């Protein structure tokens, strides 16, 4: 009996020990990312240019998220089988350890999406890593549950074990988590984002509440940590939210875009970095504020403007009505302040509603001396040009109309626009803006005629070598930037060009 108790205690001790080991590894991981980000920004400030090849830059970068995921899978597998000499005989230890390891890295997954980010300049940098890290946790938890199921089937006690209260609590957690894997797939997530968001939050709650009783030995210390983190995130969210009255909707009929013009709330920050975004949602008094996600929109105006302007595509799932009230978050930064202090030569490539990111960058950079900045905007509907006037753009803008859409066909193209701005379709012959084109839309003729000198309108897809030529025309490309914002296809092309030419690159993908 003493020997059996000793062996039973050893199993539990091992599980607890390895849980703390992987938690310590996760703490070390976040410290490396945070410290690397700090050192990278420090070197950038010291050199007046971001270091092109720096170990700190490589350590802080999560652009190649798959490297991080592969590393963590290797850590989980390594700890699972560490000190396991006979896997078959020690299968129970392996199965239990999988569950412990999965749960003890949940705090890391939560930390990745706390906003504002505690690790990097913008929480947006870590979103993709969080998605895949969640999938790793669910897969590891599933392997834990599957191992027990196989063991119980072989022992002929499957139903009695599964239906035992504490074991069944694990089933109640893993089944919705597996469903989340399907719902989080991009094609499903884009079409049913509200369902994904609600289901995601349900899974978070299930990982907290049933796990308190399911996990043996207990994980109350980790659950307490998770509760503290979630309360902190809730505080961050509620302390930065503002009530918004009616929103003015600026809409030019057949345009595929519209503008949301918001009067600045009383305690809204007086300044923010160009390219920052806010999150728009229902009023806090509405139950939908607590159930459904807020929606991020880049601030298309600058702090000196009287209003907060947002540019959005029509036909989105989240519809804004001028007669209703909403809530608005404080701005969340995208580009660090050092970018605006050091950038010398910048070409901004926008697609569709990505003009909301490019326009404030253009206006901010043009106010700084000795800066070269150019904005290239790709649209599929020339009636979107009204946005340039509404945003007070005074510099010349190259506009490429990549596809003409008939007014009666607009509805069915809304969902296609996000990925159709820069395709491999045969390009139209380039041509400059003429008076016939300006007068082609009666409801915008006056607007365009008054500002035609700042619009270089062309048809077809832009040639990247042509629009980026001034970035490589000098001996040094230090502080030369390509900024891309819009659909993924456009970002990928611009990123590939930047890498081949050794030019600095930053992007924001407008999607889910």
Q: Are residues 427 and 280 in the same domain?
A: no
Q: Are residues 321 and 404 in the same domain?
A: no
Q: Are residues 231 and 247 in the same domain?
A: no
Whole-prediction pTM: 0.86
Residue 426 has pLDDT above 50, yes or no: no
Residue 8 has pLDDT above 60, yes or no: no
Question: Which range has the worst mean pLDDT, 43-47, 56-60, 420-424?
Answer: 420-424
Domain closes at, from 298, 329, 360: 329
> Using 50, 70 and 90 to split pLDDT, how confident is the model at 511?
low
Beta bridge partners of 309: 261
Name the residue range of residue 130's domain: 2-238
Q: Exposure of 499 by Cβ count < 10 A (0-12 exposed, 13-18 middle, 19+ buried)? A: exposed
Calpha distance 503→476 (Å, rounded): 10
The CATH number linked to 294 is: 2.40.30.10
Q: Are residues 403 and 278 in the same domain?
A: no
The answer for residues whose C-beta is within 8 angstroms of residue 424's C-beta and 6 or more apart is: none
Residue 186 has pLDDT above 60, yes or no: yes
Q: Are residues 68 and 114 in the same domain?
A: yes
> Using 50, 70 and 90 to split pLDDT, how confident is the model at 470?
confident
Res 430: pLDDT: 27
The total domain count for the chain is 3
Domain closes at, from 202, 222, 238: 238
Calpha distance 488→173 (Å, rounded): 34
The CATH number linked to 497 is: 3.40.50.80
Q: Are residues 71 and 170 in the same domain?
A: yes
Residue 369 has pLDDT above 80, yes or no: no
Residue 433 has pLDDT above 80, yes or no: no
Res 60: pLDDT: 81
Q: What mean pLDDT value characterizes the chain?
A: 85
Calpha distance 322→123 (Å, rounded): 30
Residue 299 has pLDDT above 80, yes or no: yes
Query: What 3-state DSSP class applies to 418?
Result: helix
- Between the alpha carbon of residue 97 and those of residues 61, 138, 183, the distances in Å are 30, 14, 28
Residue 382 has pLDDT above 90, yes or no: no
**Omega of the bond leading into 116 within 30 degrees of 0 (cis):** yes
Q: Are residues 188 and 42 in the same domain?
A: yes
Q: Are residues 197 and 258 in the same domain?
A: no
For range 322-334, the mean pLDDT: 94
CB 229 within 8 A of CB 114: yes
Strand 277-281 relative to strand 326-329, pairing: antiparallel
Instruction: Find tokens 């491999």 and name the residue.
Output: 424
pLDDT tens-digit map of 156-168: 999 999 999 999 9
Q: Are residues 228 and 255 in the same domain?
A: no
For range 266-285, the mean pLDDT: 95
Q: Are residues 153 and 266 in the same domain?
A: no
Calpha distance 275→297 (Å, rounded): 10
Domain closes at, from 280, 312, 329: 329
Instruction: Find tokens 């040639």 and name the residue.
Output: 463
Res 44: pLDDT: 94
Beta bridge partners of 481: 346, 504
Q: Are residues 55 and 177 in the same domain?
A: yes
Residue 512 has pLDDT above 50, yes or no: no
CB 92 within 8 A of CB 161: no
Q: Are residues 304 and 423 in the same domain?
A: no
């Amino acid at each position: 009996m003493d020997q059996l108790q000793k062996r039973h205690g050893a199993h539990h001790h091992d599980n607890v020990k390895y849980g703390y080991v992987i938690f310590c590894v996760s703490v070390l991981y976040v410290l490396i990312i945070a410290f690397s980000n700090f050192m990278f920004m420090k070197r950038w400030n010291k050199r007046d240019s971001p270091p092109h090849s720096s170990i700190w830059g490589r350590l802080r970068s999560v652009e190649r998220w798959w490297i991080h995921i592969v590393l963590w899978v290797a850590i989980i597998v390594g700890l699972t089988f560490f000190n396991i000499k006979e896997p078959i005989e020690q299968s129970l230890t392996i199965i239990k350890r999988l569950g412990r390891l999965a749960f003890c890295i949940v705090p890391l997954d939560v930390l990745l999406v706390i906003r504002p980010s505690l690790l990097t300049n913008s929480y947006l940098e870590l979103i993709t890593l969080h998605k895949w890290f969640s999938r790793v946790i669910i897969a590891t938890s599933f392997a834990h549950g599957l191992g027990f199921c196989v063991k119980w089937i072989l022992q002929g006690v499957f139903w009695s074990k599964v239906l035992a209260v504490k074991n069944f609590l694990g089933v109640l957690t893993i089944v919705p988590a597996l469903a989340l894997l399907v719902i989080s797939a991009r094609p499903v997530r884009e079409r049913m984002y509200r369902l994904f968001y609600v289901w995601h939050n349900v899974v978070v709650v299930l990982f907290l509440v049933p796990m308190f009783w399911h996990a043996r030995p207990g994980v109350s210390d980790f659950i307490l940590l998770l509760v503290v983190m979630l309360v902190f995130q809730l505080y961050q969210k509620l302390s930065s939210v503002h009530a918004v009255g009616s929103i003015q909707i600026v809409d030019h009929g057949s345009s595929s875009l519209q503008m949301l013009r918001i009067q600045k709330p009383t305690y809204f920050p007086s300044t923010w970095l160009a390219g920052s975004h806010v999150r728009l949602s229902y009023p806090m008094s509405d139950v939908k504020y607590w159930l459904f996600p807020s929606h991020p929109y880049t601030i298309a105006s600058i702090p000196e403007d009287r209003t907060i302007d947002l540019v959005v595509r029509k036909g989105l799932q989240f519809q804004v009505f001028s007669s209703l009230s909403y809530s608005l978050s404080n701005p969340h930064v995208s580009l660090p302040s050092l970018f605006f202090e050091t950038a010398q030569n910048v070409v901004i490539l926008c697609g569709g509603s990505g003009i909301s990111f490019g326009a404030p960058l253009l206006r901010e950079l043009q106010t700084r001396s000795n800066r070269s900045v150019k904005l290239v905007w790709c649209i599929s509907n020339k009636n979107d040009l009204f946005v340039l006037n509404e945003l007070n753009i005074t510099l010349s803008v190259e506009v490429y109309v990549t596809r003409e859409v008939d007014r009666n066909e607009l509805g069915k193209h809304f969902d296609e626009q996000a990925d159709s701005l820069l395709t491999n379709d045969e390009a139209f012959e380039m041509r400059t803006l003429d008076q016939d084109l300006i007068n082609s839309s009666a409801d915008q003729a006056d607007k365009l005629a008054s500002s035609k000198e700042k619009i270089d309108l062309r048809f077809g897809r832009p040639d990247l070598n042509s629009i980026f030529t001034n970035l490589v025309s000098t001996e040094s490309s230090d502080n030369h930037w390509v900024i891309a914002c819009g659909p993924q296809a456009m970002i990928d092309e611009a990123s590939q060009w930047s890498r081949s030419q050794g030019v600095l690159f930053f992007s924001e993908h407008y999607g889910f």
